[in-house]
Every structure is written in C-alpha cells, then in structure tokens.
Amino acid sequence: MKRKFAATGLLSIAWVLSVTFVPNLPTITHGQVQQKQPSSVDKAAVARFEGRVKDYVKLRNQVKGKLPGLSKDSTPEQIESYRKNFEAALRAARTGAKPGDIFNHEGADYIRRTLKTEFKGRDRAELREIVFEAENETIPLRVNYRYPEAKELTEMPATLLLQLPQLPKEVKYRFVGRNMLLVDRDNNLIIDYMVNALP
C-alpha cells in the first residue's frame, strides 16, 4: 500500500499554478512562481550529488543490459526470476558500496537544510505525522539490500520533490522514519541512505 501526502498544509502545486485572479489580491502567474535559488556552493554540491546518482544509473543500466530480456508474455514466475537476477547482479556490481557513497556529507547537509528551511510549522508537523504513520520504521537500513515490498511506501509531496536534487526516473526518494533513502524503482534495492534527514 502506498501512502500519499494530504494536500492540506503542504502547498498544492496545481493550486499555485492555477491561481490567475482573485479580487483585491495581486495576480499570480506561472512566471511569478519562483523557487528560492541556492547559493553557488549549494549548486555545486547538488550537481555533484546528481552526478553520483547518474553514475549509479549508468552502472545499473549496464548490468540490466546484460540480463536476458523479458517478453510481453512473461509469466509471473519469469518476472520474479528476472527481478531476483537483476538484484543479485547489481549487488555484485556494487560490492563494497557503503552509506554515504551518494549521500555524501555535502549532499546530505544540503538536503537536511532544505527540509529544515522549507518545511516549518504546520507543514513540518503534517509531514512528520504522515511519515511516522507509515509502518516501516523497523526496516533495516542496509545499502545494497532490498526494501521489502510488503512494507508501506511513503510518497514524497510534490512541493518537497521540487526543492530536492532531481533524480532520474530509475531512482526514487523514500522515508523510513526520519531517515531518507534512495531506492531503485525496478528492484527496490536500497542504493544509499542518510540518517536524521527529517527535522
């Protein structure tokens, strides 16, 4: 089961972009909706973080390209076998991977500051409430191991995703308690994690 963030409290992007005229209030247009621009130091840190994520994606695609492909008529058993083989091959290719390889100090620091700065008051309380409602805090944080499919996934709100470094389609952010994970979308492998991300 996937848990999605409520629209209340956390600003709805669709609402922001749809507001064009309200009597007695200034008009807001798409071009006027601006995000706070990071400093040059933060931009460099984000670029290096995104570069490390892209390096992972390049590796995982190389591994995936060596596996026998699935046909549209593949059985559930064949699909599960493919997933397990993909996971095992990727884990072997990342032997020695450890926490912080992607979420290094500067990347983790930027994300923690962003969460602390962008989510305050009611927004932060609501974000924490929803994160801690998910019954996934017992998941062991282990790089190169699979996020259990049976455990609940906490979806990121769109407003938060806009503030965080951008990820390729093959990778997703996930919360486990206050900790943030990078997870492979195809096989649920935990690529990296950072502790105490959520203030």
Mean pLDDT of all residues in the chain?
A: 77
Residue 48: what pLDDT? 95
Q: pLDDT tens across 96-151, in order?
A: 999 999 999 899 999 999 888 876 666 666 666 655 565 556 677 899 988 876 55
pLDDT at 35 over 60: no
pLDDT at 36 over 70: no
* Percent of the chain residues topping a pLDDT of 90: 40
| Cα 168 → chain centroid | 10
Q: Where are the domains of the chain?
A: 2-194
pTM assigned to the model: 0.73
Q: Which two tokens stand for residue 127?
A: 């974000």
29-33, 49-53, 83-87: range with lowest mean pLDDT: 29-33
pLDDT at 184 over 90: yes
> Which residue pairs from 106-110 have beta carbons closer than 8 angstroms and sit at least 24 positions apart in sequence?
106/45, 106/48, 106/49, 107/45, 107/46, 107/48, 107/49, 107/52, 107/165, 108/194, 108/197, 109/45, 110/38, 110/42, 110/45, 110/46, 110/49, 110/165
Q: What secondary structure does DSSP assign to 6-46, as a single string?
A: -SSSSPPHHHHHH----TTS----GGG--PPPPPHHHHHHH
More confident residue, 157 or 31: 157
More confident residue, 188 or 138: 188
The phi and psi torsions of 155 (rounded to 5 degrees) equal -75, 145
More confident residue, 60 or 1: 60
